[in-house]
Structure 1
Amino acid sequence: MPLIKPDDGYLTLFNLFETATTEGQDRVVDEMKKIVDNATYPGWISSTVHAGVDTPGTLNFIQWRDLAALEARYAGEKFKTKTVPLFNQLATSARLLKTELEFTQHHPDLGDSIEVSPKRDDYTVFVLLNVEPENQKELLDTLAKPDEWLKTVPGYRSHTYFRGIDGTFIANYAQWDSKELYDAFHTLPEEQRPADVREGRLRARNLATGRFANSFRAVHTRSAEL
């Protein structure tokens, strides 16, 4: 089962697709499942397909041994001539986000690590923040740090910050008990948040040049036999 662990050293790839309808989302999910179930690529560790909840779309959480292994996959003729055109046809937008894990935190009830699996009932929130390369480190320093208050928020399970290796974004992959509890946290008035949290959020808004967010449920996963 895929785990989020800060010491594994994996490259994490987020394949983020948007679709116009839930029917389109289902088609993308079906095609992703086929690829995941037949994956035998050198250096591939795991893939977990997520289906959009609040907005149609999909998120594939993929772990690779390193960037070289991923680039070898991208260089393959089948990927270039069949896989890419297929998903460009099915999705209204496609982003292949290469990242490295920078920080992770989870509620003590989860144990030693964070599991990414359709066997769980996580309400998963994925937030993508665009940033100028010269400001990426400051944005990470602002957000990717321990937050003890968050552990006390009803419904919180985990959150992990990933650094875009091209320097233009950071991503937050977060797990919550339910949509209702996440929405209550997301819409909490600023004055009800700790002062240091408010300051960090304000600084992040000034540094980020764009924001994308959607919620997902993991629906399919497979890991390589290591």
Structure 2
Amino acid sequence: MPKISADGQHLTVLNVFATDAPEKQEKLLAAMREIVDAAAYEGWISSTVHSGQDKFGTCNFIQWRSTEDLETRYQGEEFKHRTLPLFGEITTSIRLLQNEIVFTQQKDSTDGLTEISPDRDDYTVVDLIGVEEADQEELLELLGEGQEWLSSVPGYRTHTVLRGLRARGLEGKFVVQYAQWDSEEAFRAHRDQADAAKSPERQKVDARVAELATWTDQNTYRVVHTRAAGV
């Protein structure tokens, strides 16, 4: 199964698609499965497909060897004339986000690796956060080391923070937080906790994140399919 680490070895791409009906989400998932199962691109390492829960849509967590390999894929005739038009017909937005992982944390792991797979039962939360370029590094620190206390929260499993490098379908700088929880109930209990019940440390971090964020977009997911090169 694919593993996430902040070792700087891979380019991490999140393709986040939104749509407006359950049947369109199923078409997206079917198309993604087909593409992932046939993938044989130079420099492609793995793809893990996520099915939207709170909102209709999908997220494909992809590992590439380099930006150059990815751009070769984007310039290919298949991608330009088949893949993009197909997704354009069944989505309301397409965001192709190139990132580098800067922080990972796991509640019950000592090797610094986060696993993503349909064989696990993670309730996955993906936060996209817009930020001014001058504030990106501070936001990364707040969401990473600034939330080490998450390890003591019931139901928390892991979180990964990614620096947005460049994107198609999105303007400006951004940060991504990818988190895994035991269940929807555990995640919502944490997210919806009353301010008065939060620790002073959390209140301070939450307030500063809200100040820095120029926009936010969150969806929750279940992992439904994955494949790695050579498998």
TM-score (norm 1): 0.96
Q: 1:173 to 1:200 in 2, by over 3 A?
A: same
Matches within 5 A, 1:11-160: 11-108=11-108, 110=109, 112=111, 113-145=113-145, 147-160=147-160
For 1:6, give the aligned amino acid.
Answer: A
Q: Percent same amino acid at aligned positions?
A: 48
Offset at residue 141 of structure 1 (A):
2.1
Q: 1:8 to 1:132 in 2, by over 3 A?
A: closer
Residue 189 of structure 2 corresponds to: 184
When the two chains are superposed, the root-mean-square deviation of aligned CA atoms in Å is 1.4
For 2:155, give the aligned amino acid.
Answer: G
Partner of 1:183, secondary structure, is helix
For 1:10, give the aligned amino acid.
Answer: H
Spell out, residue by residue over 1:119-178, the C-alpha distance to the aligned partner (whole angstroms, 9 max, x if none): 000000000001111221121122221534211111100000000003610000000000
For 2:224, give the aligned amino acid.
Answer: V
Spell out, residue by residue over 1:17-63, the C-alpha distance to the aligned partner (whole angstroms, 9 max, x if none): 11101111000000000000000001100000000111111000000
Q: Runs (4+) of structure 1 moved beyond 4 Å? A: none
Spell out, residue by residue over 1:71-117, the C-alpha distance to the aligned partner (whole angstroms, 9 max, x if none): 11111111111111110111111100110001110112x45321110
Aligned 8 A contact 1:105 1:146 in 2: no
Residue 178 of structure 2 corresponds to: 173
TM-score (norm 2): 0.94
Q: Extract unaligned runs of 5+ from structure 1.
A: none
Distance 1:183 1:111 in 2: 26
Distance 1:146 1:200 in 2: 7
Aligned 8 A contact 1:51 1:58 in 2: yes
> In structure 2, which of residues 199, 203, 210 is the aligned counterpart of residue 194 of structure 1?
199
User: Structure 1 stretch 121-130 or stretch 195-204: which is displaced more?
Assistant: 195-204
Offset at residue 210 of structure 1 (A):
0.3
Aligned 8 A contact 2:146 2:205 in 1: no
Q: Extract unaligned runs of 5+ from structure 2.
A: 167-171
Distance 1:146 1:21 in 2: 37
Distance 2:99 2:8 in 1: 13
